[in-house]
Amino acid sequence: MNILLTGGAGYIGSHTALSLIENGHMVTVIDNLITGTKRLIPPKAKYYNCDIADSSSIKKILKENKFDVVMHFAGLTKVDESVNNPDKYNDYNFEKSKSFFNCCFENNLKKIIFSSTAGVYGDSSSQYVKETDEIKPMNPYAVSKSKVENFLIKKSKSEKINYIVLRYFNVAGADEDKRSGLISKSSTNLIKVICELATKKRKKMTINGNDYQTKDGTAIRDFIHVRDIADIHIVAANSFFKNFSSEIYNCGYGQGYSVKEVINEMENIIRSKLEVEIGPRREKDIAISVANSDKFKKKFNWKPKFNNLNYILKTALEWEKIN
Ligand SMILES: NC(=O)c1ccc[n+]([C@@H]2O[C@H](COP(=O)([O-])OP(=O)(O)OC[C@H]3O[C@@H](n4cnc5c(N)ncnc54)[C@H](O)[C@@H]3O)[C@@H](O)[C@H]2O)c1
């Protein structure tokens, strides 16, 4: 396949680009480096430094190449920032995506894979969240993603487009060969913070709330290794050529770990105690977010390769040590 991939200088996009190339596909990356890092783009990928909403450049790229599928990762990802600046998130994640997709449709690129988030479910009452559960995003970041989902659903009714929306749960880990991983100076990503602590880049960390209705009082999340997310994209892209219909899929393992369990696992790996304090809950944070991930697994007979918290933490730690 010839894939157009936005956000390929970012964490998940760069891993997916690597997997695609390893599997013999051609990849063209569009990224304006607003949060991305150029060296994460695989050397074998073609790269355009361009904003997804720069319609004249995008149209030119689309005319110069003939893409089979577009994978749209580009966007802003920080929930806290979105709460302080909702307009920016509406603009970057919704308006710019809309403009980008319209250019794609006009140029006959109509097979779309879109990076959405489990955040669209908000504080679901389900123990394992299903794709059919109610959508009630609780912050502007999740709202912006939900708006793009709705845009694609609506467009698929009026134009012949095919979409696959992937709702990621907590993406974590890094490439075992250390070619890519999470780079961010101000990440609030739990595993990133734990790795910074384990490599002594920070002195202590705060657990945001230990009074949730969970087994140890701390929040529970479903962590999925970034290489499995990359693999899901390849399976999803292939499905367009096997006459599968437009769908929405959860991307998680269907297994939850509490914040304390993740910290304990890292302490086992590094064989020392981490400096952890208890703080208040974060505003609008939810107690449990775990996927029901049966839909994708059953439809494509797909099995994750890296469903192992120890492996997720070790690969993230090794990446942190060299960055
Ligand atoms: N990391 C997670 O756990 C997670 C969970 C759910 C959903 N997602 C979604 O997955 C996607 C990728 O996330 P990530 O963690 O790799 O983020 P990231 O910040 O590492 O990567 C995003 C990339 O998009 C680029 N970008 C942003 N706006 C752009 C624009 N207007 N034009 C061109 N390039 C632009 C950035 O420079 C960056 O390289 C995002 O859409 C995010 O919302 C991530």
Q: What is the CATH number of the domain that holds 264?
A: 3.90.25.10
> Whole-angstrom Cα distance, residue 166 to residue 118?
9
Decide whether any atom of ligand 1 lies within 6 Å of the 9 Cβ.
yes
Residue nearest to atom 20 of ligand 1 (CA): 10
- 23 CA to middle of ligand 1, Å? 22
Number of domains within the chain: 2
∠13-17-20 over CA atoms, to 5°? 135
Determine the distance from the C-alpha atom of residue 281 to the mean position of all C-alpha atoms in its chain, rounded to a whole number: 23
Decide whether any atom of ligand 1 lies within 6 Å of the 41 Cβ.
no
Position 182 in a domain: no
Same domain, 29 and 6: yes
- Residue 243 is classified by DSSP as T
Q: Supply the CATH number for residue 119's domain.
A: 3.40.50.720
Same domain, 81 and 97: yes
Same domain, 146 and 214: no
Same domain, 203 and 69: no
- Indicate the SS3 state at residue 167: strand
- Residue 282 is classified by DSSP as P
> Whole-angstrom Cα distance, residue 320 to residue 314?
10
Same domain, 116 and 40: yes
Decide whether any atom of ligand 1 lies within 6 Å of the 96 Cβ.
yes
Same domain, 97 and 133: yes
Determine the distance from the C-alpha atom of residue 215 to the mean position of all C-alpha atoms in its chain, rounded to a whole number: 27
Reported pTM: 0.97
Q: Which atom of ligand 1 is nearest to the CA of 53?
A: 31
- Per-residue pLDDT in tens (0 to 9) along the chain, 323 residues: 999 999 999 999 999 999 999 999 999 999 999 999 999 999 999 999 999 999 999 999 999 999 999 999 999 999 989 999 999 999 999 999 999 999 999 999 999 999 999 999 998 888 899 999 999 999 999 999 999 999 999 999 998 999 999 999 999 999 999 999 999 878 889 999 999 999 999 999 999 999 999 999 999 999 999 999 999 999 999 999 998 889 999 999 999 999 999 999 999 999 999 999 999 998 878 999 999 999 999 999 999 999 999 999 999 999 999 99
Q: Which atom of ligand 1 is nearest to the CA of 36?
A: 39
Decide whether any atom of ligand 1 lies within 6 Å of the 75 Cβ.
yes
pLDDT score of 137: 96
Position 299 in a domain: no
Same domain, 284 and 234: no
- 41 CA to middle of ligand 1, Å? 13
Residue nearest to atom 32 of ligand 1 (CA): 51
Pairing of strands 69-72, 111-117: parallel
Alpha helices in 180-321 (DSSP H): 190-198, 226-239, 259-270, 294-300, 309-321
Position 181 in a domain: no
Decide whether any atom of ligand 1 lies within 6 Å of the 55 Cβ.
no
Same domain, 109 and 161: yes
Decide whether any atom of ligand 1 lies within 6 Å of the 181 Cβ.
no
Q: Would you name the residues annotated as active-site residues?
A: 141
pLDDT score of 62: 98
Decide whether any atom of ligand 1 lies within 6 Å of the 304 Cβ.
no
Position 296 in a domain: no
> Whole-angstrom Cα distance, residue 193 to residue 98?
33
pLDDT score of 285: 85
Tell me which long-range contacts 25-31 makes (C-beta under 8 A, separation of at least 24): 25/1, 25/234, 26/1, 26/2, 27/3, 28/2, 28/3, 28/4, 28/61, 28/65, 28/67, 29/5, 30/4, 30/5, 30/6, 30/58, 30/61, 30/74, 31/6, 31/7, 31/74
pLDDT score of 98: 98
Same domain, 150 and 277: no
Q: Which atom of ligand 1 is nearest to the CA of 13?
A: 16
111-117 β-sheet, strand order: 46-49, 26-31, 2-6, 69-72, 111-117, 162-168, 247-251
Position 96 in a domain: yes
Position 227 in a domain: yes
What one-character-per-residue DSSP string does 2-54 give? Answer: EEEEETTTSHHHHHHHHHHHHTT-EEEEEE--SS--GGGS-TTSEEEE--TT-
Position 136 in a domain: yes
Residue nearest to atom 1 of ligand 1 (CA): 171
pLDDT score of 151: 98
- Indicate the SS3 state at residue 171: strand
Residue nearest to atom 23 of ligand 1 (CA): 7
- 8 CA to middle of ligand 1, Å? 8
Same domain, 10 and 32: yes
Residue 208's closest CA among 196, 198, 197, 217? 217
Position 53 in a domain: yes
pLDDT score of 184: 85
- Domain extent for 122: 2-172+222-251
Same domain, 13 and 140: yes
Same domain, 144 and 194: no
Residue nearest to atom 21 of ligand 1 (CA): 10
Decide whether any atom of ligand 1 lies within 6 Å of the 168 Cβ.
yes
